[in-house]
């Protein structure tokens, strides 16, 4: 992980940051990924991020979310489920190409490797994100498929 000073804070999310993170995720999803999905996929994604069960899992520590915060504003979020699966990774459009996503991924991978003892991270990458994950060392393990209207490519990265 880079020791370079970043102009925003990256840390585990608090309960007060859940809703702002989900609003940012939804807005970013619609702008950058929604055109790649069917109406069913868009509806399913919205239902996933607004599900009360997901929020309860977050509050219980079973769905971990790390956020990037700039002056009190959630500008990025990455979440883990099932120990080592990246569930969501989104960065506010005003902060694209400024290292926010990369920093979130570095911190999440470092956590998985050092604290959780995991050997790899998996992700179901949206079409828009496949090249980003490749640049971070992920490899494709299954070709693109559509699940409930959501197009994804299964990818993973070895952490050790």
Confidence band for 1, pLDDT divided at 50, 70 and 90:
very low
Contact yes or no for 151/126 (Cβ under 8 A): yes
Query: pLDDT digit string (tens) for 65-97?
Result: 999 999 999 999 999 999 999 999 999 999 999
Confidence band for 5, pLDDT divided at 50, 70 and 90:
confident
Query: pLDDT digit string (tens) for 18-43?
Result: 999 999 999 999 999 998 889 999 99
User: Which is more confidently placed, 2 or 56?
Assistant: 56
- Tokens (6 digits) for 52: 């009360």
Q: Mind listing the domains of the chain with CATH numbers?
A: 9-158 (3.40.630.30)
- The 10 Å Cβ neighbour count of residue 18 is 18
Q: Which of 11, 137, 133 is nearest to 77 (CA)?
A: 11
Q: How far apart are CA 40 and CA 125, in angstroms?
A: 18
């Amino acid at each position: 992980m880079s020791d370079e000073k970043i102009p925003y804070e990256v840390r585990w999310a608090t309960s007060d940051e859940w809703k702002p993170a989900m609003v940012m995720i939804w807005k970013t999803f619609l702008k950058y990924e929604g055109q790649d999905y069917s109406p069913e996929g868009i509806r399913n994604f919205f239902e996933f991020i607004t599900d009360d069960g997901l929020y309860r899992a977050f509050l219980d520590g079973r769905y971990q979310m790390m956020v990037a915060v700039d002056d009190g504003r959630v500008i990025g979020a990455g979440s883990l489920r099932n120990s080592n699966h990246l569930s969501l990774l989104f960065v506010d459009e005003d902060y694209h190409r400024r290292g926010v996503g990369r920093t979130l991924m570095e911190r999440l991978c470092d956590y998985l490797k050092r604290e959780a003892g995991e050997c790899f991270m998996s992700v179901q990458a949206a079409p828009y994100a496949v090249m980003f994950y490749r640049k971070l060392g992920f490899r494709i393990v299954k070709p693109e498929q559509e699940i409930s209207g959501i197009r994804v490519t299964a990818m993973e990265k070895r952490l050790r």
